[in-house]
């Protein structure tokens, strides 16, 4: 059985070049699922307003922060994203001793978006997510057309100074602070004995289930992990390979390094098959609060055949139309009961163009090689331009309101010439 989810990475000084934090994630999802990249500005809300997430309605907060998200086009939440305070979050499916069956509640992807919309720091995001988990729970189908695909969630969260790993099982959880070096997570629990925050009843519950004797050193991964399965073994292999790739560049990890890791197929990190890498993200966050973070997204499958395009938070950003999927309002099958029926076409403009070019790359070796060279050249030019902002800041923010969309249009123009 092949693993059915993703990998998330973070590197902090001194493992990175310069005083920067590098965050990266592949979103591995069903091969026919479309991932979109969308932006939502900061907003204020009234005291009695409610918020409709993927399956359930929850209480809204008075203010939400601006966010950029990469998400499966059928749901409310997100696989990964960042907010205006340079908090980045990615989630992973996780399976342990606790059953993932249950009523529809908050998806882990909903919790990613909620953490970004409501937290100014990585630690605050941990608190936001765990409080929502306690109040509303997690659960529900995690695929548009498969009611049996359910899981609990692990999260990797970073900001300008540190990162946190948060791993959950039903309502129970453990969190580990990462202050330097690098860390990655996959589809297995990875927090062992270093636990910096935890659910107050987590240990007592484990003891009541006879998973822990109450005397030996408490190891979260050992206590809450399910006995080994093919899925766990495969994700463990991918986790180890990702760790090796980070170690290989330790002290010199850059955005290019992270993109290379996300593009690596030999390790299984760049996934192929019935589950594929449907979207990728790399963020570069200077520790200097006066410098902007740069967030790169593909918005297309397979980072090896995609371009990472930059996004910078400034005021008055325009909607990201080229990477926003069609919406169907009350006619959307997700809003109906029963919801598992034929799926509507959710392909956005960039996805359609990329799909055609990907077919050419697969079919015509020489032509495909030239197209990929053009794609890398365009990506490198964009990244060179972003280095100026990362080093010196943004003097005229209004010039960047269309940064991501302009990069997408450049990509599509290159495809048209192909």
CB-CB contact of 91 with 108 (8 Å): yes
| Residue 230: predicted pLDDT | 44
Cα separation, 376 vs 266, whole angstroms: 20
Cα separation, 306 vs 379, whole angstroms: 9
Q: What is the pLDDT of residues 203-257, one digit of tens each?
A: 999 999 999 999 999 999 999 998 754 444 555 688 999 999 999 999 999 999 9
User: What phi and psi, each to the nearest 5 degrees, are found at residue 384?
Assistant: -65, -40
Contacts of 392 (CB under 8 A, 6+ apart): none
The number of C-alpha atoms within 13 Å of 261 and in the hemisphere containing its C-beta is 33
Catalytic residue, from 6, 53, 88, 142: name it: 6
Degrees to nearest 5, angle at CA 394 with 389 and 395:
135
Which regions in the chain score pLDDT beneath 50?
A: 1-3, 229-232
What b/e readout covers 187-224, taking b as 16+ CB neighbours within 10 angstroms? Answer: bbbbbeeebeebbeebbebbeeeeebeeeeebbbeebb
What would the DSSP string read from start to end of 363-401? H-HHHHHHHHHHHHHHHHHHHHHHHHHHHH--S-GGGGT
Token pair recorded at residue 346? 């959710």
CATH numeric code, 7-417: 3.60.60.10
Token pair recorded at residue 223? 């206590």
CA Rg value for the chain:
20
Contacts of 342 (CB under 8 A, 6+ apart): 333
CB-CB contact of 116 with 87 (8 Å): yes
Token pair recorded at residue 415? 């495809």
What would the DSSP string read from start to end of 202-237? HHHHHHHTTS--SSSPP-HHHHHBPSP-HHHHHHHH
Token pair recorded at residue 122? 């990585």
| Residue 342: predicted pLDDT | 76
CB-CB contact of 191 with 169 (8 Å): no
Alpha helices in 107-265 (DSSP H): 108-118, 122-136, 202-208, 220-224, 230-248, 255-262
| Residue 1: predicted pLDDT | 40
| Residue 3: predicted pLDDT | 43
Respond yes or no: is residue 6 known to be catalytic: yes
Q: Residue 214 region, left (φ>0) first, then alpha (ψ -120 to 50), else beta?
A: left
Contacts of 200 (CB under 8 A, 6+ apart): none
| Residue 5: predicted pLDDT | 65
- Beta-bridge partner residues of 47: none
Instruction: Give the start-to-end residue ranges of the domains of the chain.
Output: 7-417
Please return the burial class of 81, using the count of CB atoms within 10 Å of its CB with bins 0-12, 13-18 and 19+.
buried
Cα separation, 362 vs 352, whole angstroms: 16
- 122-136 vs 108-118: helix crossing angle, rounded to 10: 130
| Residue 335: predicted pLDDT | 73
């Amino acid at each position: 059985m092949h693993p059915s989810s993703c990998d998330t990475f973070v590197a902090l000084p001194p493992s990175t070049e310069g005083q920067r934090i590098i965050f990266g994630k592949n979103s591995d999802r069903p091969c026919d699922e479309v991932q979109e990249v969308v932006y939502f500005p900061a907003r204020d809300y009234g005291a009695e307003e409610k918020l409709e997430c993927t399956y359930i309605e929850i209480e809204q907060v008075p203010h939400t922060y601006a966010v950029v998200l990469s998400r499966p086009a059928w749901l409310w939440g997100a696989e990964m994203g960042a907010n205006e305070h340079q908090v980045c979050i990615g989630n992973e499916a996780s399976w342990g001793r606790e059953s993932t069956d249950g009523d529809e509640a908050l998806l882990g992807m909903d919790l990613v978006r909620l953490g970004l919309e409501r937290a100014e720091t990585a630690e605050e995001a941990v608190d936001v997510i765990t409080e929502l988990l306690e109040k509303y729970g997690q659960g529900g189908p995690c695929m548009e057309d498969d009611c049996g695909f359910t899981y609990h969630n692990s999260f990797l969260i970073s900001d300008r100074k540190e990162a946190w790993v948060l791993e959950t099982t039903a309502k129970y959880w453990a969190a580990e602070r990462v202050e330097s070096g690098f860390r990655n997570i996959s589809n297995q629990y990875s927090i062992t004995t270093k636990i910096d925050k935890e659910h107050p009843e987590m240990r007592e519950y484990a003891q009541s289930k006879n998973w822990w004797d109450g005397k030996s050193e408490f190891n979260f991964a050992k206590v809450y992990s399910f006995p080994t399965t093919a899925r766990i073994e495969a994700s463990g292999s991918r986790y180890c390979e990702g760790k090796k790739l980070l170690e290989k560049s330790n002290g010199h990890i850059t955005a290019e390094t992270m993109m290379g890791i996300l593009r690596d197929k030999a390790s299984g990190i760049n996934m192929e098959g019935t589950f594929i890498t449907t979207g990728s993200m790399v963020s570069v966050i200077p520790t200097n609060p006066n410098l902007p973070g740069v967030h790169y997204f593909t918005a297309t499958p397979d980072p090896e055949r995609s371009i990472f395009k930059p996004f910078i938070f400034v005021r008055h950003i325009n909607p990201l139309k080229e990477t926003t999927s069609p919406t169907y309002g009350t006619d959307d099958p997700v809003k109906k009961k029963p919801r598992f029926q034929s799926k509507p076409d959710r392909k956005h403009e960039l996805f359609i163009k990329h799909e055609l070019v990907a077919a050419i790359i697969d079919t015509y070796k020489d032509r495909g090689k030239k197209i990929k060279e053009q794609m890398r050249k365009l990506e490198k030019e964009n990244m060179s331009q972003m280095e100026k902002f990362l080093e010196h800041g943004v003097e005229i923010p209004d010039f960047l309101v269309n940064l991501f969309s302009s990069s997408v249009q450049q990509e599509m123009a290159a495809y048209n010439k192909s």
